[in-house]
Amino acid sequence: MITTDICIIGAGPVGLFAVFEAGLLKMRCHLVDALPQVGGQLSEIYPYKPIYDIPGAPEIKAQELVDNLKKQIAPFSPTFSLGERVESIERQEDKSFIVTTSDDTKIHCKVITIAGGLGCFEPRKPAIEQLEAFEGKGVTYMVKDPELFRDKDIVLAGGGDSALDWTIFLSNVAKSVTLVHRSDTFRGAPDSAEKVFHLAETGKINLVLKSNIVKINGNGKLNEVLIEASDKTVTARPTDYLIPLFGLSPKLGPIADWGLQIDKSQISVNTVDYSTNIEGIYAIGDINTYPGKLKLILCGFHESALMAHSAFKHVYPNQRLSFKYTTVNGVNAF
Amino acid sequence: MINITVLNKAGEERLLEVPEDMGLNLMEILKANEYNVLATCGGMAMCGTCHVQVLEGMDNLGAHSDAELDMLDTLPDAESNSRLSCQLQINENMDGAVFKLMAEEDIAV
Ligand SMILES: Cc1cc2nc3c(=O)[nH]c(=O)nc-3n(C[C@H](O)[C@H](O)[C@H](O)COP(=O)(O)OP(=O)(O)OC[C@H]3O[C@@H](n4cnc5c(N)ncnc54)[C@H](O)[C@@H]3O)c2cc1C
Ligand code: FES
């Protein structure tokens, strides 16, 4: 069991900055994110795009902002559970909470701050019959440990950069690699596309273009995929694994089931302190909604400061909070 | 003003009258007409949540940019008539076109 003052759900820019605001008030934080890296939309969708509306930073690349935030919060030693989705929250008799993740990590905390953005980033799934029934039984949407595929037959589906990159990488690991792509061109990184065509020419991989996977079969475990070509002929290909790689898309996910007041996939909050309808749970950043809400990083930063000052009363119920500038005492690490 | 037809995921059809001279793109028009298009990236061809299929009038639309094709390549349900609505500038050539919404309408709760 991990014990902390505030469990922050979502490690996007707003969740990260909340660690700073909490740290100034001597509250410790643990962050959970479904993605394997911190940074939320910035790292996942637009790491190389410049942002122009961060006060004091006339132009800053999204990933650079994330890196700076990591540096800024380091003195407060936040801890992380990455690549895990928060599934449930449970209120305890003493009003504290236990947060449980998809990997069954348990976090005991006094306050929950939801900074879940647009929701959990989850893999886009192609419409293939029975696909979900074979998840974990041969169907996987992520290559976490390439060794899993050593000397196996694998089929990848998709045409973007990650499909190309993993095809190239796994061609040296797996027994056989087949890449199925809907069209006959790849627009992603031209270098990767060239390499994939070269691997196909030299017989290192099977490249099946202008085709779609329409069905999968198996007996408790995946053993073949059916591939339909543009002329509608269907071929069966035996395989141990199918890895559809169609990018990630945010989904509200389990947050919808926690008894919070939800309005169009966002959590309604009180703008005095960004508290939700459940005492001790706050929502900041893109995930919340209130009259006049703007989905800007700037606004999320402001919300995190007010949240932290209000959360103080749950973490230190017997202390009075006195407001101080960072210029007075500096940043006192812990 | 021009007319376009939009089919939602359930196949319900609506005729929209849209201004062709305001520099708007189709994603903005869809949002303005209360369709649940996420448009996470705000129109930069970076999120794919504004995906539409063009049922009629494909030839009258401008060419895809590389960025658009690249994004479409990553979508599981894209076909040869797929476009990102944020990359379709409204202009008089679009009159009479028919679009089907493809992106997940995620605002379910
Ligand atoms: C292309 C693009 C350009 C943009 N440009 C700008 C700009 O110039 N200026 C600006 O201010 N804003 C911009 N934005 C918006 C900005 O990125 C968002 O406002 C910001 O990312 C919100 O931060 P956040 O921390 O609230 O959420 P996010 O960045 O969305 O992070 C939320 C995190 O929570 C995680 N999560 C959600 N639910 C769970 C769960 N149950 N368990 C575990 N993890 C969970 C998600 O995986 C995600 O990583 C842009 C957005 C995009 C897509
Ligand atoms: S709005 Fe993101 S791709 Fe069109």
Classify residue A104 by burial, with Cβ atoms within 10 Å: 0-12, 13-18, 19+. exposed
Atom of ligand 2 minimally distant from the CA of B42: 1
pLDDT tens-digit map of A196-209: 999 999 999 999 99
CATH among 3.10.20.30, 2.60.40.10, 3.40.190.10, 3.40.50.300 for B2-101: 3.10.20.30
- The residue among B81, B79, B97, B75 whose CA lies nearest residue B29 is B97
Ligand 1 site residues (CB inside 6 A) read A 9-10, 12-15, 32-35, 40-42, 45-46, 51, 53, 85-86, 115-121, 253-255, 285-286, 295-298, 300; B 40-42, 44, 46
Residue A162 vs residue A244, higher pLDDT: A244
Which ligand sits nearest to residue A7's alpha carbon? 1
Asked if pLDDT for residue A103 goes beyond 70, the answer is yes
Hey, are the CB atoms on B73 and A187 less than 8 Å from each other? Answer: yes
The shortest C-alpha distance from A203 to chain B (Å) reads: 24
Contact A37, A295 (CB under 8 A): no
Superfamily of domain A125-246, CATH level 4:
FAD/NAD(P)-binding domain (3.50.50.60)
Hey, are the CB atoms on B109 and A41 less than 8 Å from each other? Answer: no
Q: Which helix (H) or strand (E) holds A195?
A: helix A190-201
Q: Which residue of A has its CA nearest to B106?
A: A251
Contact B21, A22 (CB under 8 A): no
> Does the structure's ipTM exceed the value 0.90?
no
pLDDT tens-digit map of A12-25: 999 999 999 999 99
Handedness of CA A131, A38, A179, B51 (dihedral sign): positive
Q: Which residue of A has its CA nearest to B64?
A: A187
Residue whose structure tokens are 């009075």: A320
Give A203-234 as a DSSP string: TSSEEE-SEEEEEEEESSSEEEEEEEETT--E
Confidence category of residue B107, pLDDT binned at 50, 70, 90: very low
CA distances from A317 to A7, A277, A307, A312, B107 (A): 18, 20, 15, 7, 38
Determine if residue A41 is labeled as part of a ligand binding site: yes
Strand order across the beta sheet in which A262-263 lies: A262-263, A266-268, A288-289
Residue A14: count other Cβ atoms within 10 Å of its Cβ.
Answer: 30
pLDDT tens-digit map of A295-309: 999 999 999 999 999
- The residue among A213, A139, A210, A202 whose CA lies nearest residue A172 is A202
Q: Where are the domains of chain B?
A: 2-101
* pTM, full prediction: 0.89
Say yes or no: do domains A2-122+249-329 and A125-246 share a fold: yes
Q: Where are the domains of chain A?
A: 2-122+249-329, 125-246
Q: Which of A41, A73, A81, A288 to mutate to test the pocket of ligand 1 (most atoms within 8 A of CB)?
A: A41
The token pair that represents B89 in the structure block = 């500038």
Hey, are the CB atoms on A118 and B40 less than 8 Å from each other? Answer: yes
The shortest C-alpha distance from A158 to chain B (Å) reads: 6
Asked if pLDDT for residue B40 goes beyond 50, the answer is yes
What is the pLDDT averaged over residues B31-54? 92
Give B43-98 as a DSSP string: SSSSS-TTEEEEEE-GGGSPPPPHHHHHHHHT-TT--TTEEEGGG-B--GGGTT-E
The token pair that represents B94 in the structure block = 């679009």
Return the CATH fold of A2-122+249-329: FAD/NAD(P)-binding domain (3.50.50)
- Distance CA(A291)–CA(A288), nearest Å, equals 10
Hey, are the CB atoms on A247 and B46 less than 8 Å from each other? Answer: no
Q: Which residue of A has its CA nearest to B79?
A: A182
- Distance CA(A138)–CA(A281), nearest Å, equals 38
- The residue among A278, A153, A175 whose CA lies nearest residue A221 is A153
Give residues with Cβ within 8 angstroms of A331, minimum separation 6: A23, A24, A75
Classify residue B2 by burial, with Cβ atoms within 10 Å: 0-12, 13-18, 19+. middle
Confidence category of residue A58, pLDDT binned at 50, 70, 90: very high
pLDDT tens-digit map of A244-288: 999 888 888 899 999 999 998 899 999 999 999 999 999 999 999
- Distance CA(A116)–CA(A7), nearest Å, equals 12
- Which amino acid is it at A260? L
Phi then psi dihedrals of residue A52, to 5 deg: -115, -5
Hey, are the CB atoms on B109 and A49 less than 8 Å from each other? Answer: no
The shortest C-alpha distance from B2 to chain A (Å) reads: 31
Residues of chain A contacting residue B48, judged by C-beta atoms under 8 Å apart: 124, 247, 249
